[in-house]
Structure 1
Amino acid sequence: MKTALNPKATQYLKDKKNLLAFSAGTDSSALFFMLLEKNISFDIAIVNYKLRSQSHLEVEYAKELAKKYGKKIFIKEAPLSPPSIEYKARKIRYDFFEQVIKQYNYHNLITAHHLNDQLEWFLMQFTKGAGLVELLGMELISEKKDYCIVRPLLFTAKKDIKKYLKQKKIKYFEDITNKDIKFRRNFFRKEFSDKLMELFDEGIKRSFEYLHLDKQLLLEEFKIYNLKDLFIIKNQKNDLKNIRAIDKAVKSLGYLLSSKQKKEILKQKKCVIGKNIAIDIDDDYIFVSPYIKTVMDKRFKESCRILKIPEHVRGYIFKSGIEPKEIKNCIERL
């Protein structure tokens, strides 16, 4: 097998407490054994949606692996039914993973996303109308609020993963729902991405490597400072750069902005998104924080007024115990 786990991702996972998102399917089964070979410590978590007759067999296989290799296993049963199965499944899955991560203090969530998945996402976003940041939504290492998502197989083709499974004679389950093209991702996979990967996998891999480097250079153009969950960004005087910086800060708070919300932010300048996130764009700086309504003392409000700290973020600053002078020091470093 000419490609394996990404060296940068592998090094990042060393000496950390890791949780593997496991499904007993092709990709996560291969990743399980690849991580073992690299002596990377991890436990596993699996969700049983009870959508297929073999679901209980997949959970039993996960239990067998956990017992054999001394891994902790976390299991959630969450029966699903239409409509919006894909959306519901993803929300349940990541809510469960985050609950386990917080409760047991894991540093990273490891997922088995691979090169084919990256191309599928790219094509789906491309057909909706997206910029570079949205097109490259999958990162090798993605920072969340309390943990990181690590994708060691992100530049490994599906065919190489299957070769590995065959060579090592590793058991895995095929998810028959992956062939149902009523699901948008499956449609793109069957009609476009699988065919492209079959013909041009090496070129596609190189292109994604170059694009991720371009994205990194683009995002390095702005600095984001944070005090707890308050983010301060220097106004770039450019709507595209500003909204990318805001989007990054908001993602760190666990919220994803829609295209409509991004347009509204740039139009309003001062707003509260989803009743949860406060955003304020002034002539020099951008402030992003959780939105909290609370009673503040007179001294605090006067300090905020003098330092021109926006009203929408004051509630969070007050409740989190951040002193206004700390914000002044942060601004001076931008």
Structure 2
Amino acid sequence: MQVNSTGWNHHQHLVLAVSTGIDSMTLLHCLQTELKDTYASLTCLHVNHHLRPQSEKEALFIEQYCDQHHIPLYTHDLDLSEVVQQGISIENQARTSRYQWFDKMMQKLEADVLITAHHLDDQIETIFYRLFTGRSTRSSLGMSYISSRSGYQLCRPLLNTTKSEIRQYQSAHKITYFEDQSNLDNQYVRNDIRNRILPEIESNDHLSRHHLLKLKDWHDEQREKLKNEAHQFIKNEVDFNGKNIKISRKDFVELSHSVKMTVLDEILREFQLGDAIPEKTYKAWFEQISSNIAQCTLHTTDKWIIQVAYDKLAIMANDVTKLNPISVNQPGTYIFGAYQIVVNHTISKQQFPITIRTRNNGDKFQLNGAHGHKKVSRLLIDEKIVQQERDEMPIVVGSNDEILAVGILFLSQQFNQHIKILKMGEE
């Protein structure tokens, strides 16, 4: 039986996720015997899903087995009763819960490599599953031999080994294992692929499921090219400025659909902006970005806002809080949100009190060097100020309710020597 042990070395602590099925028990036997000199120590993890009467026997069996062979074992009871009652598919939920526990245990044990017994037949099922459930455009078609998780490596040493080879090894060494009867239930998608669909394909002399492996290799190469193009775009065209990320709208529109998705996937993942955005949502966003809309909000959470803002696509922290007005009765330096307002000693006392506030509907200011007024809202539009900045911009109002300044966009020429406004973080 082919076992790829290049994913670890003899100095490392290995942890095997063992279910008591033929795959993991066969791999455990191989690690104890043929591969016993390839690592420093071995621990087993077992999850009891409590979904079958047989689960208790399996848990007791692996406890006795590990005790007999002096292998440290940690078990975890998984309660999926609510998921079952809701009629929701338990496959993804069970996997997510398992790996959450694995992550915690790997950290607790300070272990190096988590090993699972996924094999070549599992790989083919995974490729088929991802193709026909629409999960093929933004990730690898199949599993990797080794991948990085939080603080450790996940390794699948049987990924090039067939189920038939595993059965031959088990038979030759008379390895005890438990057969999971739920694997025969085709109501689960993966079981249906394994038990019904793939055998039908293999029964046709003109078809072979192994061609899916070649498709995976080609697909992964194309994915790598997409990621490289996306990373190059991010490096050259994306402006990271503190909590704000800005992308040229024009340059983004010119990208292909797949590169657009990859660019946003990489940015959102890097900045931990939540779960992956569905492709359907991306499609709607791209239509809005390509339209003639000047400003619109694409996505809002309690922490992040993603907006189209004139010639930019902006991703920014949603940390806008209500800014209370400040009453200024003497010269000094005052902080209003992201702005610094300096009132010099040269200003006339008659101007006090000065109020610093956010804008109100209908705000107007006297134009410099010209008759007439201009609406603050019009100024913000003309200067292409995004919505979040509009809501934070300080309006400086004199004692006679005349607007003296609008952020760094306007300052009455009568007060050029008396008031100075700076946006912090900018020259």
User: Residues 140-159 of structure 1: CA distance to partner in whole angstroms, max 9, x if unpaired?
Assistant: 22333444332222232222
Letter in 2 for 1:212: D
1:216: which partner in 2? 224
In 2, the alpha carbon distance for the partners of 1:273 and 1:31 equals: 47
Measured at CA, do residues 240 and 97 of structure 1 come closer, stay the same or move farther in structure 2, by a change above 3 Å? same
1:129: which partner in 2? 134
Structure 1 unmatched runs, 5+:
303-310, 312-323, 326-334
1:174 aligns with 2:176: no
User: Residues 162-196 of structure 1: CA distance to partner in whole angstroms, max 9, x if unpaired?
Assistant: 22222222111110001111112111211223454
TM-score by length of structure 1 reads 0.69
Q: Which one has more relative contact order, counting CA pairs under 8 Å at least 6 apart?
A: 1
Measured at CA, do residues 285 and 160 of structure 1 come closer, stay the same or move farther in structure 2, by a change above 3 Å? farther
Matches for 1:1-334 after TM superposition, within 5 Å? 1=1, 3-5=2-4, 10-14=5-9, 15-36=11-32, 37-38=34-35, 39-40=38-39, 41-81=41-81, 82=84, 83-84=87-88, 85-134=90-139, 136-196=141-201, 200=208, 203-223=211-231, 237-247=255-265, 255-263=275-283, 266=286, 293=319
Query: 2:124·2:209 contact (CA, 8 Å) conserved in 1?
Result: no
Query: 2:124·2:210 contact (CA, 8 Å) conserved in 1?
Result: no
1:123 partner SS: helix
Query: 2:114·2:154 contact (CA, 8 Å) conserved in 1?
Result: yes
Residue identity over aligned pairs, in percent, reads 25
1:164 partner SS: helix
Query: 1:157·1:201 contact (CA, 8 Å) conserved in 2?
Result: no
Query: 2:66·2:72 contact (CA, 8 Å) conserved in 1?
Result: yes
In 1, the alpha carbon distance for the partners of 2:12 and 2:105 equals: 15
Which structure has the bigger radius of gyration?
2
- Decide which moves more: 243-252 or 147-156: 243-252
**What is the CA RMSD across the aligned residues, in angstroms?**
4.3
Structure 2 unmatched runs, 5+:
290-296, 322-334, 340-387, 389-424
Deviation at 1:258, TM superposition (A): 3.3
Deviation at 1:92, TM superposition (A): 2.1
Deviation at 1:68, TM superposition (A): 4.1
Structure with more of its chain in helix, by fraction: 1
User: Residues 210-236 of structure 1: CA distance to partner in whole angstroms, max 9, x if unpaired?
Assistant: 4434443443334378x9xx9x99987
1:319: which partner in 2? none
- Decide which moves more: 125-134 or 247-256: 247-256
Structure with more of its chain in strand, by fraction: 2
Query: 1:20·1:43 contact (CA, 8 Å) conserved in 2?
Result: yes
1:328: which partner in 2? none
In 2, the alpha carbon distance for the partners of 1:280 and 1:107 equals: 42
Query: 2:140·2:216 contact (CA, 8 Å) conserved in 1?
Result: no
In 2, the alpha carbon distance for the partners of 1:194 and 1:233 equals: 51
2:92 partner SS: helix
Query: 1:243·1:266 contact (CA, 8 Å) conserved in 2?
Result: no
User: Residues 250-307 of structure 1: CA distance to partner in whole angstroms, max 9, x if unpaired?
Assistant: 567584443345446656777667757776899899979xx78598xx79957xxxxx
1:11 partner SS: coil
Query: 2:3·2:158 contact (CA, 8 Å) conserved in 1?
Result: yes
In 2, the alpha carbon distance for the partners of 1:273 and 1:74 equals: 41
Deviation at 1:50, TM superposition (A): 1.6
